[in-house]
């Protein structure tokens, strides 16, 4: 069964985005406010996915847009504004993680074995069909919890690529990764999600049979 995600946002930048950025560079605060309103939801969700902490995510959101405004003159328009702000937000979120002395997760810029040559293991079929057992709302909750359980290096790539709908190239640019690294981490994320969900539904199925 395929993993269902939130419908992806269009990858094309809004036609007025460059105009808004140009106006913001000229000191038009209202134009920058439009950009904030347009992307703050996505940036907050991304920050939550990385930090797993609402207070930290709120800090990341504010810091990311503050730094973006402060360094707006450095945005050359070679990529979408959202891609640029994502990179800033990811850096801020990773700084939050590094400040947690007890945090032992791997940073996004750490080189890891991408495992591109690994064999995709077989995943047991879910029986009965989870969609017959759970409502769409319950399925979304289950999927969200499974995504939250991924390491930041996988969770962030999955969010940008499969939830926000960025292309592989845009995701690589936003995270300062190579395209093969993005593909490998996305594959790992999808495999881990399938494994988590398979074990979850099998456990639920066993629990159900226990009461028969």
Total count of domains within the chain: 2
Same domain, 89 and 141: no
- Judge contact between 9 and 73, C-beta under 8 A: no
Please give the residue that has the higher pLDDT: either 142 or 134: 142
Same domain, 147 and 187: yes
Please give the residue that has the higher pLDDT: either 98 or 69: 69
> Residue 50 sits in a domain of what CATH number?
1.10.1740.10
Cα angle 166, 167, 171 (rounded to 5 degrees) comes to 70
Question: Which DSSP letter does residue 160 get?
Answer: I
Same domain, 79 and 136: no
Residue that terminates a domain, selected from 99, 114, 139: 99
- Would the pLDDT of 127 be above 60? no
Same domain, 145 and 192: yes
- Least trusted range by pLDDT, from 37-51, 55-69, 135-149: 135-149
Same domain, 95 and 139: no
Looking at the domain assignment, is residue 114 inside a domain? no
**Positive or negative, the Cα torsion across 70, 74, 77, 81?**
negative
Cα separation of 85 and 90, whole Å? 9
Structure confidence at residue 65 (pLDDT) = 93
- Judge contact between 189 and 154, C-beta under 8 A: yes
- Would the pLDDT of 119 be above 60? no
Looking at the domain assignment, is residue 156 inside a domain? yes
Cis ω before 128 (30° cut-off from 0): yes
Structure confidence at residue 18 (pLDDT) = 87
Structure confidence at residue 67 (pLDDT) = 92
Same domain, 134 and 84: no
- Judge contact between 51 and 93, C-beta under 8 A: yes
Looking at the domain assignment, is residue 115 inside a domain? no
| Nearest residue to 162 (alpha-carbon basis) of 1, 3, 34 | 3
Residue that terminates a domain, selected from 99, 121, 146: 99
User: Residue 197: CB partners within 8 Å, gap ≥ 6?
Assistant: 3, 126, 130, 142, 143, 146
Same domain, 77 and 134: no
What rounded mean pLDDT belongs to the chain?
Answer: 75
Looking at the domain assignment, is residue 25 inside a domain? yes
Looking at the domain assignment, is residue 166 inside a domain? yes
Same domain, 92 and 51: yes
**What is the domain extent for residue 85?**
17-99
> Residue 142 sits in a domain of what CATH number?
1.10.10.10
Looking at the domain assignment, is residue 105 inside a domain? no
């Amino acid at each position: 069964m395929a993993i269902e995600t939130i419908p992806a946002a269009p990858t094309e930048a809004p036609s007025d985005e460059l105009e808004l950025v140009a106006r913001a560079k000229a000191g038009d605060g209202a134009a920058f406010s439009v950009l904030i309103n347009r992307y703050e939801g996505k940036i907050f969700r991304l920050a939550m996915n990385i930090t797993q902490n609402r207070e930290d995510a709120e800090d990341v959101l504010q810091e990311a847009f503050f730094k973006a405004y402060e360094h707006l003159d450095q945005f050359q328009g070679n990529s979408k504004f959202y891609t640029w702000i994502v990179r800033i937000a990811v850096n801020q979120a990773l700084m939050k993680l590094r400040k947690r002395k007890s945090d032992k997760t791997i940073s996004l810029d750490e080189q890891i074995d991408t495992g591109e040559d690994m064999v995709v293991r077989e995943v047991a079929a879910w029986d009965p069909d989870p969609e017959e057992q759970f409502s769409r709302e319950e399925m979304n909750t289950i999927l969200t919890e499974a995504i939250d359980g991924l390491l930041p290096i996988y969770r962030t790539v999955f969010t940008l690529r499969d939830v926000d709908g960025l292309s592989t190239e845009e995701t690589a640019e936003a995270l300062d990764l190579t395209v093969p690294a993005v593909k490998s981490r996305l594959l790992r994320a999808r495999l881990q999600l399938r494994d988590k969900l398979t074990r979850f539904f099998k456990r639920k199925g066993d629990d159900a049979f226990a009461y028969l």
